[in-house]
A and B are shown apart, each in its own frame.
Chain A
Amino acid sequence: MQALHFDIAHMIDALVLMMGFGLLYQRRLRSVLRTFAFQATALAAAAAWQAYIQEAPHLYATAAIALFFKAIAVPMALNWLVQRLGIHRAVETALGVGPSMMIGVVLVALSILLVLPVTENATALTRESLALAMSVVLLGLLMMITRRNAVTQVVGFMALENGLILAAVGAKGMPLVVEISIAFSVLVAMILFGIFFFRIRERFDSLDLHYLEFYRGERQ
C-alpha cells in the first residue's frame, strides 16, 4: 500500500514536470498560461496527496493556495492583461522550441545525476521526487532565459517556484511550508506586476500607434 502511495505521488510529480516541458513547448501566450494553470493544478494535487499520505493537514492549505492563487487567479489576471494591453500573442523565443526542450532533457538528466549520490542513504522513493522537483526548478529557469516576453518570464519564474514547493511538500515534516508558499506567492505577485508594468511602459514608449494598429488588424 505504501509503495502505491508513493507511486501515485511520483505520478503527480511527473505530471508537474511534464507541464514544465509543456511550457517550453507552447508557442502562444494563451496556451502558455493554460499550461501553467494545469501545472499549478497538478501541484495542488501533489500537495493534497502528500497531505493525505503524510497525514499533515497543513499541506491541504498549501494545496488550496496553489489551486486558488496559481491555478486560477494568476492565469486569469495575466490573460486579462495580455488581452487588455494587446501584447503580441506569439511567444518570442531566444532559443527555438526544439533545442530548448533538448536542453530541458539534459537538465533533467543533470538533476538526476546530482540527486543520486547526495541521497545515497535516502530511499529510492524520496530521491525520485527530489529529482523531479529539481528538474521543475531548472526548467523554470530555462524558460526565463530562453523566452523574451515579460509574461513568459513571469510564468517561468512561477514555474520555478512551483518546483520549490514541490520539493518542500515531498519531504516529510516541513511545517513552514504553508507560510513559505504564501510568502513566495505574494512575492511572485509583486514581481509579476512590477516587471509587467515596467516592461509594458517600456514597450509603449517604443511602439507607435501605427504599429499597434498593425497588430490589431492581424488579430481581428
Chain B
Amino acid sequence: MTSFVLQVVQTLLCIALAPLVTGLVRFVKSRLQGRRGPSLLQPYRDLYRLLQKEAIVADSASWLFRFAPYVTFAAVWLAAAMVPSFSTEMLLTPAADLIALVALLGLARFFTALAGMDVGTSFGGIGASREMMIASLAEPAMLMMTFTLSLLAGSTAPAIIGGFVVGGGVGLEVSLALALAAVVMVAIAETGRIPVDNPATHLELTMVHEAMVLEYSGRHLALMEAAGMLRLLLYMSLIACIFAPWGVAQPGAGLGGLALGFVAYCGKVAAMAVALAWFESMIAKMRVFRVADFLGGALLLAVLATIFLYVSEAV
C-alpha cells in the first residue's frame, strides 16, 4: 500500500517538477548572460497556453501524427516515474531496469521521429534522421554504462545500484567516474542541450529535436514540450539516483526519512540544473557531424569503464 501511494506521489511529482526544472535552467542561463530572464513559472504558463490553443494539423498528416504525442509523453512520463527520486520503495521500482528505461526512451524517440516524417516536409526528415543518428550512438553508450554498473553492483536496477553505492559497497572507482562521464555526455545529447542540439534555436539547419516537432501546435506541441522537460528531469533523477544516492529514503523509512529524501532530491536536481545552465553558457554548439565523435567518445568511455573494472576489482 505504501509503495502504491509513494508511486502515485512520485508520478505526480515528476510531472509537477519537470517544467520548474526547465524554468530554473532558463532562469540561471539568462542571469549568466546578463538578462533578467522569464519567471521560473513561465514553462507552466507556456504549457497551459498551448493547451488552450487550437491544434493545427497538416493536410498530409495521418493518424500517427496525432497519436505520437500521447505515446511519446506517456513513455517518457512512465520512465521518469520509474526512476526512484526520493524513495526506493515504489510499486514500479522492480520495473525500473536501466535497459527498460533506455528502451522506453527509445519508444518515445521512435514515435517522435516517425511523427517528424509523417507530414512529408524536408525539415521533419532532417530532424528525424539526425535524431536517429544521435540515438544510434547514445543508446549503446547508455547500455554499456549499464553493463559497467551491473558488473559493479550486480544489478541493472537503479534503486539497487544506488543502495549499493550508498551502502559503501563501492569506493571512488575510476570505472564509476568514467561511467558518470559517459552518462552525462549521453544525457546532454538525449535531452537536446548544447553542444549537441540547441533547445532555443529555430535556425532551420541546426535544429534536431525542434525540427521533428516543427509541425506541431496546440495541445500536441504542449505534450511534446512537456515530454522534453520530463526527459531532462528523468536524466537528472537517474544521475542522482545512481551516482549521488545519498539521502534517498530506503524501504521502511518513516515520514521523516521521506521528507529528507525529498529535500535531498530537490537539492540535487537544483544543483544539476544550475550546473547545466552554467555549462551551456560557456560552450558553443558543435557541428552536427562532430556529434558522432562526441557520442562515439561516450560509448568508448563506457567500454573503458567496464574494462577498468578488471584492474581495480576482483571481478
Interface contact A115-B311, CB-CB below 8 Å: yes
Q: B173, B174, B301 — which one has the most chain A CB atoms within 10 A of its CB?
A: B174
Interface size class on chain B is 20 to 34
For B218-256 the 0/1 string (1 means CB < 8 A from A) is 000000000000000000000000000000000000000
Greatest chain A CB density within 10 A among B292, B296, B311, B312 is at B311
Give the contacts of A54-82 with B (CB-CB under 8 A). none
- For B308, what are the chain A residues with a Cβ–Cβ distance below 8 Å? 14, 112, 128
Query: Range of interface residues on chain A?
Result: 20 to 34
Min CB gap A72→B, angstroms:
21
A11 touches B312 (CB 8 A): no
The A interface is mostly helix, strand or loop, or mixed, namely helix
Task: Compute how far the CA of A3 lies from the CA of B312 in the bound complex, rounded to whole angstroms.
Answer: 12
Residues 1-17 of A, flagged 1 when their CB comes within 8 A of B and 0 if not, give 00110011011011000
Secondary structure at the B interface, as helix, strand, loop or mixed, is helix
Among A10, A25, A27, A128, residue most surrounded by chain B Cβ atoms (within 10 Å): A10
- Give complex CA distance A59, B130 in Å: 49
- Contact A14–B178 (Cβ < 8 Å): yes
B255 to chain A, nearest CB (A): 34
- For B174, give its contact among A10, A27, A104 (CB under 8 Å): A10
Compute how far the CA of A11 lies from the CA of B313 in the bound complex, rounded to whole angstroms.
15
Would you call B172 and A105 a contact (CB within 8 A)? no
Q: Tell me which residues across on chain B come within 8 A of A13, comparing CB atoms.
A: 174
Contact code string B90-114 (vs A, CB < 8 Å = 1, else 0) = 0000000000000000000000000
Complex partner residue of B311 from A21, A27, A116, CB under 8 angstroms: A116
Instruction: Determine whether the beta carbon of B311 is less than 8 Å from that of A102.
Output: no
In chain A, what residue has the closest Cβ to B173?
A7
Is B310 a contact partner of A105 (Cβ separation < 8 A)? no
Q: Beta-carbon contacts of B275-315 to A below 8 Å, as 1s and 0s? A: 00000000000000010110011001101100110111110
Question: Contact: A108 with B307, CB < 8 Å?
Answer: yes
In the assembled complex, A131 has its CB within 8 A of some CB on chain B: yes
B45 to chain A, nearest CB (A): 40
A residues near B303, Cβ cutoff 8 Å: 105
A173 located at the interface, meaning its Cβ lies under 8 Å from any Cβ of chain B in the complex:
no
Nearest CB of chain B from residue A56's CB, rounded to whole Å: 22
Please give the distance in Å from B312's CB to the nearest CB on chain A: 5
**Which single residue of chain B is at the shortest CB-CB distance from A24?**
B297
Pick the most buried of A7, A102, A108, A115: most chain B CB atoms within 10 A of its CB. A7
Query: In the complex the two chains form, what is the Cα distance from A27 to B293 in whole Å?
Result: 10
Identify which of residues 119-136 in chain A touch chain B, using a CB-to-CB cut-off of 8 Å: 124, 127-128, 131-132
What are 17 A-B interface contacts by the 8 Å CB criterion?
A11-B172, A11-B177, A14-B174, A14-B308, A98-B293, A102-B296, A102-B300, A109-B307, A112-B310, A116-B310, A124-B311, A124-B312, A124-B313, A127-B311, A128-B311, A128-B312, A132-B174
